[in-house]
Structure 1
Amino acid sequence: MKLYFSPGACSLSPHIVLRELGLPFDLVKVNLGTKQLSDGSDFCAINPKGYVPLLILDDGTKLTEGPAIVQYLADLKPESDLAPANGTLPRYQLQSWLNFISTELHKQFSPLFNPTFPDTVKDFQKKRLALRFDQLNDTLKTQEYLMPSGFTVADAYLFTVLGWAHPMGISLEGWPELQAYRTRIQSRPAVQAAQQAEKSH
């Protein structure tokens, strides 16, 4: 398998999952600004969407969108418990979290990365994010991870998105449970290995 990634992007989520599962894979770095790979070739020729993550399977099949990729990976090794079994209520609860992170957090951060957006828009987005942080903080008061069963692919995604808070000028000091959660995830060997690999790649 090949995982196309960009440092600091949401592709860190499937990267973490791959390492949690111990699956063999190759990393391919993408410059999201130029849409080029390190050899100068056009990333959009491989993925017309122009963004990461992109997972290419050994048979050449392409899979995009982080929440779909991490579920596919988890299902390759169901004994890992990174995702509940398909068709069960816990699986739908996991999908609920993945959708929440994707739409209520990930996409709310997007305007903050755009230097052309006015401060009024960015302030509005930060207020929306604060409301979602309140809700997450309440959840994490009673459990260590998003799912009561333990660490799942949803945690890899949430950890990745929360990592954008500080660079975007958002302090998590007002959400102590979120801070403790990030520290907890950060301590996982697979997370550290993924971050180090992306820095040195």
Structure 2
Amino acid sequence: MKLYYSPGACSLSPHIALMEAGLAFEPVLASTKSHKLQDGTDYYTINPLGYVPVLELDDGTRLREGPAIVQYIADQAPTKNLAPANGTLQRYRLQEWLTFIGTEVHKGFSPLFNPAVPEEVKAIFKDKLKSRYQWLNAQLEGRDFLMGEHFTVADGYLFTVTNWTKPMNIDLSPYPHLQAWHARVGARPAVQAAMKAEGLIK
């Protein structure tokens, strides 16, 4: 398998999932600025939408969209318990989390990275994100992870996008349960390995 990624982008989520699953894969750096691979290949020939992540399977099939990719990865290593079994209510709970993170948190950051968006508009999006983090903080009270006692691919996704609060100057100190969860996830060996591989930590 190949994972097309950009350091610190949302592709860190499947990178973490692959490390947690212990699956063999080749990381392929895809610049989200130049849209070129290191060998000069036009990334739009890999993903016509131009963004990461893309997971390329051994037969050449390509899978887009982080929440779909991380579930695929989890299902390749069922003994790792990165996702509940398909068809169970708990699997739909996982999908509920992945959808919430994607639509309410991940996309909430998008305007903050756009230099064309006025500061007053960015302030509105930051306030919305803070309300979402306040809700998440309450959900994490008394829980080690989003689904309870076990780490899942939803934790890897939320960890990835929550890392963006630092460069965007969003203060997480009002959310102690969220902060404790973030530290817990960040200390996992697979998470450390993925971040080191992307040059995010030494």
TM-score (norm 2): 0.97
Counterparts of residues 97-108 of structure 1 (less than 5 Å): 97-108=97-108
Specify the code of the residue in structure 1 equivalent to 2:95: Q
Counterpart CA distance in 1 for 2:22 and 2:79 is: 12
Counterpart CA distance in 2 for 1:101 and 1:40 is: 33
Counterparts of residues 2-151 of structure 1 (less than 5 Å): 2-151=2-151
TM-score (norm 1): 0.98
Q: Stretches of 4+ moved more than 6 A in 1?
A: none
Shift of 1:140: 0.8
Q: Aligned Cα RMSD in Å? A: 0.9
Counterpart CA distance in 2 for 1:113 and 1:58 is: 34
Counterpart CA distance in 2 for 1:196 and 1:143 is: 27
Shift of 1:160: 0.2
Deviations 1:74-119 (A, max 9, x none): 0011111100000000000000000000000000000000011001
Q: Which has the higher mean CA deviation after the structures are superposed, 57-66 or 31-40?
A: 31-40
Counterpart CA distance in 1 for 2:166 and 2:44 is: 30
Q: Secondary structure at the match of 2:30?
A: strand
Counterpart CA distance in 2 for 1:142 and 1:133 is: 16
Shift of 1:14: 0.3
Q: Secondary structure at the match of 1:116?
A: coil
Asked if 1:163 is matched to 2:152, the reply is no
Count the aligned residue pairs: 200
Deviations 1:14-51 (A, max 9, x none): 00000001100000001101101111110001110100
Percent of residue pairs identical = 58
Shift of 1:149: 4.2
Deviations 1:140-189 (A, max 9, x none): 11211100241000000000010000101111111111111111001100
Counterparts of residues 178-197 of structure 1 (less than 5 Å): 178-197=178-197
**Which consecutive residues of structure 2, in runs of 5 or more, have no partner in the other structure?**
none
Q: Secondary structure at the match of 1:55?
A: strand
Counterpart CA distance in 1 for 2:105 and 2:186 is: 19
Specify the code of the residue in structure 1 equivalent to 2:75: D
**Which consecutive residues of structure 1, in runs of 5 or more, have no partner in the other structure?**
none
Q: Secondary structure at the match of 1:123?
A: helix
Specify the code of the residue in structure 2 equivalent to 1:159: F
Question: Any conservation in 1 of the 2:143–2:149 contact (CA below 8 Å)?
Answer: no
Question: Any conservation in 1 of the 2:6–2:29 contact (CA below 8 Å)?
Answer: yes
